[in-house]
Amino acid sequence: MSYLAEPPVLAVVVSDTTKHLSTRLNTDCARLTTSSGFDGTGGAGGELAEGEIHDVLRNDRRRMVLELLGDAGEPVTTRELSEAIAAREADADPPPRDVRQSVYISLQQTHLPKLAGLGVVDYDENTKEVTPATNASTLGVYMEVVPKYGLAYSEFYGALGVLGVLLVVAARIGVPVVGALSAGTWAVVVFCVVVASAAYQTYEQRSSLVHRLRE
């Protein structure tokens, strides 16, 4: 029996590709974090701790606030933010009044004070205007390398590589269901998923990359 002695070439290609992507993303993340001055000390107005960064980015409304501020390039009022976010959530423009009101209240009472306390935005309670603050650039970096669901792209590609190898090996040894397709076919399928995921990641990051080029 020599099922594992000579894995298909495509399986090796998929494994090497995912390992390369994982290493590249981890390196980029470390480089960008260092350049932003992040040292994990935390505290309002100081550099953000990793837990604070993930806590901010885990919430869709806070992520959208940052995206909208980056797109605007100028002060944005709380009402303008609430209308834009409500339109996205309701998939309607103009959005329903109850959705817009719900977003407005949550921004004013919860999200904007939290972001202001962390030094991510400057929030003028008198004019209701919001502008990016010192730590906004740090979060901008993390929004490029950390998806909103909390799984880093490097972890995703690594898991995908492991899955690909397992599928190829299972097909080689004739595991039921999986063995219905050849090892080479599974390798091609996983490789296509890697390519499609990388394309989606690039599409999702297009706005942020454009803003960085403008800077």
Q: Is the pLDDT of residue 144 over 90?
A: no
> Quick one: 81 and 28 in the same domain?
no
> Quick one: 107 and 78 in the same domain?
yes
Task: Mention every residue, 6+ apart, whose C-beta is less than 8 A from residue 21.
Answer: 153, 154, 157, 194, 198
158-194 in b/e form (b: 16+ CB < 10 A) is bebbeebbebbbbbbeeeeebeeeebeebbbebbeeb
Whole-angstrom distance, CA of residue 130 vs CA of residue 111: 12
Overall average pLDDT of the 78-105 stretch: 93
Query: What's the pLDDT at 53?
Result: 86
Domain hosting residue 55, numbered range: 49-134
Ranked by mean pLDDT, the top range of 13-22, 40-49, 172-181 is: 172-181
> Quick one: 207 and 182 in the same domain?
yes
Overall average pLDDT of the 160-164 stretch: 91
> What pTM was estimated for this model as a whole?
0.50
The CATH number of the domain where 130 resides is what? 1.10.10
Overall average pLDDT of the 175-204 stretch: 86
**Structure confidence by residue, pLDDT tens digits, 48-70:** 888 888 888 888 899 899 889 88
Residue 21 exposed, middle or buried by CB count within 10 Å (0-12, 13-18, 19+): buried
